[in-house]
Amino acid sequence: METKEMLFSGFRMNGFAMLFVHLVLLTAAIVFCFWQGGTWLYVTGGVLIALWFVFLAGYMLLEPNEARVMVFFGRYKGTFRDTGFFWVNPFLDKKKLSMRARNLDVEPIKVNDKIGNPVLIGLVLVWKLKDTYRAMFEIDAQTMAAAPVVTADGKQVSLNVGSAVAGRMNVFENFVRIQSDAALRQVAGQYAYDDNETASGELTLRSGGDEINNQLERELNERLAMAGMEVVEARINYLAYAPEIAAVMLRRQQASAIIGAREKIVEGAVSMVHMALKKLEKDGIVELDEDKKAAMVSNLLVVLCADESAQPVLNAGTLNH
């Protein structure tokens, strides 16, 4: 039977009230130890002192958006979520977790897009713990902590789980990082880099925008659900061709841009020539036969489509010697 997260329902006591009881217990222990009344008083005092030390382990402090997973000799007893200062059974193992949102910037990785082009893609995401039981008991945190992790500066370090919340959260972040890498490869492999190599209107990594990000977020949530984690937001923050093909693709994009610009220039030039011919014919400025019209069209297209401004040449006739 699958165990799910549940709220802790065991005995609890206000921490400040227990401090008063603790003080009374310590006072009674001192009195019994130094009272001249027989061996049984010394034994009672020793027992009270032992209880005083045992009860010290029952105190715990919880801030907003924090939780404690309560384990009693290996048995899950529930998750404590109330904020404040409390005292509980000192034999409970109180594993502290942070439920606050955390950022993760995944360094760009090299993947192959839909048509096989190597691209560099990275993402940034916001995640947090959702199910404390799954987070603590569905993944092997100890094994993950023993595995080396590559930091941003290229060094390999081992995560220390220990009993501190920071150690556990670092282990969970490492799990999220690995799954994010896999999800990013999965999503990036389903789309081409841009629309130069796909059918018109097909979704691409560059043009996908929110749709690609939403799919990435869904993929991440499916992978992290088993560990009790939730992705609040995921966004691709880096996208570029891999260095080995970047120069070639840049020239291709430049050629595509030049062709597109030329198409616009020719389209505009033809429209302007058509307008000029209609205007001359309408206003009766000059009558042109078909040969003259063809020559005029040729000259106007050369002028309008040229990269440089036209240089007029004046015909002044010939010189007689």
In order along the chain (321 residues), what is the average pLDDT of each group of 10 residues? 81 93 85 70 80 90 94 93 95 92 91 86 93 89 54 50 70 91 90 70 80 92 92 90 69 68 77 78 72 73 66 56 46
**CATH superfamily of this structure's domain 102-241:** Band 7 domain (3.30.479.30)
Whats the size of the chain, residue-wise?
321
Between CA 11 and CA 78 the distance in angstroms is 12
Q: What is the pLDDT of residue 163?
A: 47
pLDDT at 274 (0 to 100): 77
Cα distances (Å, whole numbers) of residue 313 to 159, 276, 308: 80, 21, 15
Alpha carbon distance 60, 66 (integer Å): 12
pLDDT of residue 321: 46
Within the chain, what is the greatest distance between any pair of CA atoms?
Answer: 151
How far, CA to CA in Å, does 233 sit from each of 105, 109, 125, 211, 213? 12, 19, 5, 13, 8
Task: Please report the pLDDT score of residue 194 as a whole number.
Answer: 78
State pTM to two decimals: 0.69
